[in-house]
């Protein structure tokens, strides 16, 4: 049967385009619709749906550090400086040139009463283009040849009068579609980065371990500093071996954590010098620069090359077998750059292959994703950075694109709140709680920390602990965790939001937060009987008894 010149086989609406054939079907759900389908042929960019745009839209960019924010469509420009474009390359987007000339939103987009979002990114890169007052849902297949029909990434369309609620529902459907299994543990700990950066020494590590005793951390993580080179993931000469690092951290009762960028290879690394065949290539067969950082060209590991795969697996096995059980995996987008690979797959498929190797190597240990494409990472990471780098400064007038800045980092902590606990644990980036060596004032320190706590995010502090630290803010932030948060105001013109969290460790809490005016107000629930719980196992019949009694707050 033909409907509007398209063949309908009772289940799918089928039609042919220039180089491909596509079948689509619409599934009704209580909150709207899901469009599923199949496609075959020579696959480039495919448009599968469009709808009218509003003047104001809520957009999202593809990876951890990128913004999620409300924009005014008219005259919107990304405003990326030229020198940054030269170095950022694929950290900006898998199709950086496309980002530059169009208004696009990756994975999902929203207007005040509708959310459109793709549910997966397994083969294609899903995004939305905003053009001629329309929102167009697109799938980029990077010229994939599909001789047989393959499933498209499903698209959901949700409608209601509360956009924030729709984003929460979108997150639910993404969860159902991907069924991610991630750690039940939502970590608290320390990271070296935002004080020591690349200058961390083993002596600094030992000093901070000793000073950390009063914080009750769970994880202690050394950041970029310990390794021989980007790509050569073994300790440099001034650091001891993995086993000594791990054992020393364990002595203090913490889980040992290390940072690495597993898909990145620097131009002077041993891997680059000896194994150029392990890298993603350009059209001429030369290694392709993924981005420039550390004043070096950085190339991407080809996760489809058998030897590179073995190498990737061994990096993690080696660390894990020596006692490292928390991995901050950074610059992950490098695994998803377009280019020539050993096996013909899309960049997204290559990324999935790489992440699967890492997950299989480390079993149930904790992976924090960072600099990572959002949707393809679901199911592989336990925690995910959802903001640009924070910083010991807060600059509302700076450019809003992937630069370290506590202002935009905090904005994204709020605008991506709905992913938390459904796809992974949101990492709001570290809390900087020192009052020295920082431009952050007390109000900003508290605002960043309390928002992170109230949104039930991971809490990692990053200070030289010998400095003056706002310890009370750290402990207050922990008290604010444990709840179910909802945010209102994502479409407000200024960055002022209302966060309400139910059932936190201290009951229900409301927070009005104004990022522009640097102002916040916390409202606590009425007093209530706080109960202590004591669970006892009765060994004679293996039954659990849970005794509750009022907590003696004066004890």
Cα 476 to Cα 499: distance, rounded to the nearest angstrom: 16
180 vs 240 by CB, closer to other proteins = 180
Catalytic member of 229, 382, 389, 427: 389
At its nearest, how many Å lie between other proteins and the CB of residue 531?
5
**Residue 515 main-chain phi, psi, to 5 deg:** -70, -30
Token reading at 31: 């909150």
DSSP 8-state class, residue 18: S
If binding is defined by CB under 8 A, does position 113 make contact with other proteins?
Answer: no
Any idea what the Cα angle at residue 37 is, between residues 31 and 41, rounded to 5°?
155
DSSP 8-state class, residue 56: E
475 vs 502 by CB, closer to other proteins = 502
Cα 144 to Cα 20: distance, rounded to the nearest angstrom: 11
Neighbours of 385 (CB within 10 A): 30
At its nearest, how many Å lie between other proteins and the CB of residue 504?
11
320 vs 479 by CB, closer to other proteins = 479
* CA 172 to mean position of chain CA atoms: 17
At its nearest, how many Å lie between other proteins and the CB of residue 524?
9
34 vs 337 by CB, closer to other proteins = 34
How many chain residues touch other proteins (CB under 8 A)?
37
If binding is defined by CB under 8 A, does position 382 make contact with other proteins?
Answer: no
Mark the segment that binds other proteins (CB under 8 A) among 170-178, 308-316, 323-331, 490-498.
170-178
Pattern 526-555, binding to other proteins, x per CB under 8 A?
xxxx-x-x-------xxxxxxxxxx-----
Mark the segment that binds other proteins (CB under 8 A) among 173-181, 233-241, 303-311, 360-368.
173-181
**Taking CB under 8 A as the criterion, which residues in 478-537 touch other proteins?**
484, 502-503, 507-508, 525-529, 531, 533
347 vs 483 by CB, closer to other proteins = 483
Residues comprising the chain, all counted: 555
**Taking CB under 8 A as the criterion, which residues in 16-45 touch other proteins?**
28-31
| Burial (CB count <10 Å: 0-12, 13-18, 19+), residue 505 | middle
**Taking CB under 8 A as the criterion, which residues in 256-275 touch other proteins?**
none
If binding is defined by CB under 8 A, does position 168 make contact with other proteins?
Answer: yes
250 vs 479 by CB, closer to other proteins = 479
DSSP 120-175: --SSSEEEEEEETTEEEEEEEEEEEEEEEEEEPPPEEEEE-S-HHHHHHHHHHHHH
Torsion, CA 491, CA 131, CA 83, CA 284, rounded to 10? 130
**Position among 81, 133, 151, 176 found at the interface with other proteins (CB under 8 A):** 176
Active site residue 389: yes
Handedness of CA 223, 225, 227, 231 (dihedral sign): positive
**Position among 169, 271, 378, 487 found at the interface with other proteins (CB under 8 A):** 169
40 vs 165 by CB, closer to other proteins = 165
283 vs 552 by CB, closer to other proteins = 552
Any idea what the Cα angle at residue 128 is, between residues 127 and 130, rounded to 5°?
150
User: Across the strands, what pairs with 45?
Assistant: 140
Beta strand 108-111 pairing with 56-60? antiparallel
At its nearest, how many Å lie between other proteins and the CB of residue 420?
16
**Position among 6, 21, 87, 160 found at the interface with other proteins (CB under 8 A):** 160
| Burial (CB count <10 Å: 0-12, 13-18, 19+), residue 508 | middle
Residues whose CB is less than 8 angstroms from the CB of residue 473 and which lie 6 or more positions away in sequence, other chains included: 431, 433, 445, 446, 449, 450
100 vs 151 by CB, closer to other proteins = 151
Catalytic member of 224, 302, 330, 382: 330
If binding is defined by CB under 8 A, does position 77 make contact with other proteins?
Answer: no
**Taking CB under 8 A as the criterion, which residues in 178-217 touch other proteins?**
179, 184
At its nearest, how many Å lie between other proteins and the CB of residue 554?
17
Active site residue 302: no
At its nearest, how many Å lie between other proteins and the CB of residue 546?
5
Residues whose CB is less than 8 angstroms from the CB of residue 253 and which lie 6 or more positions away in sequence, other chains included: none
CB of 94 closer than 8 Å to CB of 125? yes
317 vs 531 by CB, closer to other proteins = 531
If binding is defined by CB under 8 A, does position 173 make contact with other proteins?
Answer: yes
At its nearest, how many Å lie between other proteins and the CB of residue 526?
5
Mark the segment that binds other proteins (CB under 8 A) among 34-42, 56-64, 145-153, 160-168.
160-168
Cα 13 to Cα 3: distance, rounded to the nearest angstrom: 8
| Burial (CB count <10 Å: 0-12, 13-18, 19+), residue 541 | exposed
**Position among 27, 151, 172, 243 found at the interface with other proteins (CB under 8 A):** 172
At its nearest, how many Å lie between other proteins and the CB of residue 534?
9
Cα 189 to Cα 208: distance, rounded to the nearest angstrom: 12
CB of 140 closer than 8 Å to CB of 125? yes
Q: Which residues are part of the catalytic machinery? A: 330, 389
Under the rule (CB under 8 A), what is the footprint of other proteins? 28-31, 159-160, 165, 168-169, 172-173, 175-176, 179, 184, 484, 502-503, 507-508, 525-529, 531, 533, 541-550
């Amino acid at each position: 049967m033909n409907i509007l010149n398209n063949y309908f086989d009772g289940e799918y609406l089928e039609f042919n385009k220039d180089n491909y054939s596509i079948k689509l079907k619409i599934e009704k759900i209580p909150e709207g619709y899901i469009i599923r389908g199949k496609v075959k042929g020579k696959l480039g960019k495919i448009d599968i749906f469009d709808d009218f745009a509003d003047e104001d839209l809520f957009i999202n960019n593809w990876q951890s550090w990128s913004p999620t924010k409300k924009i005014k469509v008219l005259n919107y420009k990304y405003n990326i400086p030229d020198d940054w474009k030269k170095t950022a390359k694929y950290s900006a987007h898998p199709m950086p040139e496309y980002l530059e000339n169009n208004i696009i939103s990756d994975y999902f987009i929203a207007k005040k009463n509708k959310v459109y979002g793709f549910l997966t990114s397994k083969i294609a890169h899903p995004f939305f283009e905003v053009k001629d007052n329309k929102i167009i849902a697109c799938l980029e297949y990077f010229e994939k040849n599909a001789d047989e029909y393959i499933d498209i990434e499903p698209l959901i369309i949700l409608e209601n009068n509360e956009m924030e609620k729709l984003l929460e529902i979108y997150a639910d459907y993404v969860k159902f579609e991907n069924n991610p299994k991630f750690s039940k543990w939502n970590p608290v700990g320390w990271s070296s980065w935002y004080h020591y950066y690349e200058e961390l020494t083993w002596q600094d590590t030992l000093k901070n371990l000793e000073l950390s005793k009063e914080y009750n951390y769970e994880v202690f993580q050394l950041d970029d500093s310990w390794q021989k080179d980007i790509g050569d993931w073994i300790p440099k000469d001034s650091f001891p071996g993995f086993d000594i690092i791990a054992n020393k951290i364990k002595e203090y009762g913490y889980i040992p954590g290390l940072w690495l960028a597993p898909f990145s290879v620097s131009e002077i690394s041993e891997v680059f010098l000896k194994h150029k065949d392990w890298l993603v290539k350009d059209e001429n067969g030369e290694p392709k620069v993924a981005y420039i950082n550390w004043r070096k060209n950085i190339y991407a590991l080809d996760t489809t090359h058998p030897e590179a795969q073995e190498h990737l697996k061994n990096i993690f096995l080696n660390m894990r077998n020596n006692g490292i059980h928390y991995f901050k995996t950074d610059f992950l987008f490098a695994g998803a750059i377009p280019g020539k690979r050993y096996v013909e797959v899309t960049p997204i498929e290559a990324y999935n292959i790489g992440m699967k190797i890492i997950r299989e190597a480390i079993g149930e240990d904790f992976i924090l994703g960072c600099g990572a494409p959002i949707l393809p990472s679901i199911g592989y990471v336990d925690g995910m950075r959802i903001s640009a780098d924070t910083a010991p400064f807060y600059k509302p007038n700076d450019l809003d694109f992937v630069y370290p800045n506590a202002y935009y980092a905090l904005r994204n902590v709020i605008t991506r709140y709905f992913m938390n606990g459904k796809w992974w644990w949101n990492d709001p980036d570290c809390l900087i709680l020192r009052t020295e060596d920082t431009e952050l004032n007390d109000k900003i320190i508290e605002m960043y920390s309390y928002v992170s706590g109230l949104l039930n995010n991971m809490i990692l502090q990053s200070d030289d602990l010998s400095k003056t630290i706002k310890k009370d803010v750290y402990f207050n932030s922990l008290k604010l965790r444990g709840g179910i948060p909802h945010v209102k105001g994502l479409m407000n013109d200024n960055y002022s939001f209302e966060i309400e969290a139910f059932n936190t460790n201290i009951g229900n809490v409301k927070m009005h937060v104004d990022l522009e005016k640097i102002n916040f107000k916390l409202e606590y629930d009425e007093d209530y009987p706080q109960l202590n719980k004591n669970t006892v196992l009765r060994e004679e019949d293996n039954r659990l008894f849970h005794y509750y009694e009022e907590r003696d707050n004066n004890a």
